[in-house]
A and B are shown apart, each in its own frame.
Chain A
Amino acid sequence: EIVMTQSPATLSVSPGERATLSCRASQSVSSNLAWYQQKPGQAPRLLIYGASTRATGIPARFSGSGSGTEFTLTISSLQSEDFAVYYCQQYNNWWTFGQGTKVEIK
């Protein structure tokens, strides 16, 4: 099983600042990496697939990068609606999620 490790567990950021979230795979997943956003009481929402392609309707302030085992989700200027939990997921070999990074207001 491929283990996905996200860091940090919690990220405290002020509105308007940049947020950088990391995701590491225990073995290469090529570019088969997705990012999801989940707000309290809501279902997850797809943000990024293919490591760097934004899903339909996702604002340009969200960007993804990386390949192999190291990946990054960057939110260039945090808006109030971006405070949420973010999960990475590999779909190269079955499916596994990271444990999540909570982005909270500083």
Chain B
Amino acid sequence: EVQLVESGGGLVKPGGSLRLSCAASGFTFSSYSMNWVRQAPGKGLEWVSSISSSSSYIYYADSVKGRFTISRDNAKNSLYLQMNSLRAEDTAVYYCASGLAGYYFDYWGQGTLVTVSS
């Protein structure tokens, strides 16, 4: 059974940093691309970043480019999102999602809440 478990969310002040993690199990993590998607309170889904299986290809939404860094450790079956220079508008539930069968997002974690507030 595919499982994705996010962690690392919390309350941070504007301008601060946070690192999210996503622990994967139930599939060969090193063979598949992974993604981060966020959802601000009461709002829709927003794609944040994607990384290919070997980290050769990395993509970011314009809203986070230059501030967020996606990475993965295939030996640890883990995905990460380093978030710097956080803003109030980054407040959201952050989901990790897999792309096992294609470029769509077939499995999702339960999400971790990031709140940026002074």
Give me the interface of A with B, judged by CB distance under 8 Å: 1, 32, 34, 36, 38, 42-46, 49-50, 55, 87, 89, 91, 94-100
Once A87-B45, A94-B59, A95-B50 are accepted as A-B contacts, the answer to whether A55 and B103 lie under 8 Å apart by CB is: no
Q: B46–A89 contact, CB under 8 A?
A: no
Q: Which residue of B lies closest to A92 (CB)?
A: B103
Contact of B102 among A36, A91, A97 (CB under 8 A): A91
Once A94-B59, A97-B45 are accepted as A-B contacts, the answer to whether A46 and B109 lie under 8 Å apart by CB is: no
Give the size of the chain B interface in residues (CB under 8 angstroms): 21
Q: A43–B106 contact, CB under 8 A?
A: no
Shortest distance from the beta carbon of A2 to any chain B beta carbon, whole Å: 11
Cα A60 to Cα B37 in complex, Å, equals 27
Cβ–Cβ < 8 Å partners of A97 in chain B: 44-47
Q: Which residue of A lies closest to B96 (CB)?
A: A43
Given contacts A42-B110, A94-B47, A97-B46, 5 further A-B contacts (CB under 8 A): A38-B45, A43-B109, A44-B37, A46-B104, A91-B103
Chain A interface SS verdict (over half): loop
Q: How many contacting A-B pairs (Cβ < 8 A)? A: 54
Contact of A34 among B35, B59, B104 (CB under 8 A): B104
Shortest distance from the beta carbon of A58 to any chain B beta carbon, whole Å: 11
User: What are 12 pairs between A and B in contact, CB < 8 Å?
Assistant: A34-B105, A43-B108, A43-B109, A43-B111, A44-B95, A46-B105, A96-B47, A97-B44, A97-B45, A97-B47, A100-B44, A100-B45
